[in-house]
Amino acid sequence: MTKPFCATLAFALLLALSNAASAQTPHEAARSFVAQSHAGDDLAAIALSAAKQTQTYGMLVAKLGAADANTALSNEINALLPQYQPRWDENLATAYEKSFSPKELSSLASEGRASKYAGTVMERQSKIGKYMQSSSSPILISLITEALKASLSKQGL
């Protein structure tokens, strides 16, 4: 084989391998974006806010006072997050996958707020929120229910 042919073959192989390594499925790109942007990190705050609207939380407040009830419930939610966060993040990745192209998601994941697509995140938030509401309400309800039960149980209620 000639040197130019070997060099061309080596370059082509290197290019093919680098493209294969960097290629992501749309869902992998969405998962990368969710992980790198910490988009799902508000699950605990969402759960606490929703739980505070329940009569059960009112029972905790009556027994402990507002500050201690908040702390007790927050602690239970945080303890349960490892069980619920992966499913929440997976649903969030699906929501972003449905709202953005893989190219947009890769740009958002790697460039963050500097991405030329950063402005479109807020524009598409309504669609993402609707998907999350329909797909993730069972996750949220289960998390809240379990956290409230544990809080009540620890208070002897």
What residue segments make up the domains of the chain, in order of their start? 26-154
Count how many Cα atoms sit within 13 Å of the Cα of residue 38 in the half-sphere of its side chain.
Answer: 4
Q: Which residues contact 92 (CB under 8 A, 6 or more apart)?
A: 34, 39, 40, 128, 132, 136
Average pLDDT, the chain: 85
> How many Å apart are CA 87 and CA 85, to the nearest integer?
6
Tens digit of pLDDT for each residue in 51-92?
999 999 999 999 999 999 999 999 999 999 999 999 999 999
Residue 23 in tokens: 């290629």
pLDDT band at 23 (very low <50, low <70, confident <90, very high): low
> Could you report the per-residue pLDDT of 26-49, keeping only the tens digit for each?
888 889 889 988 989 999 999 999
pTM of this structure: 0.79
Residues 124, 130: Cα–Cα separation, whole Å: 10
- What whole-number percentage of the chain has pLDDT above 70? 85
What does the CA dihedral 13, 16, 20, 23 come to, rounded to 10 degrees?
A: 160
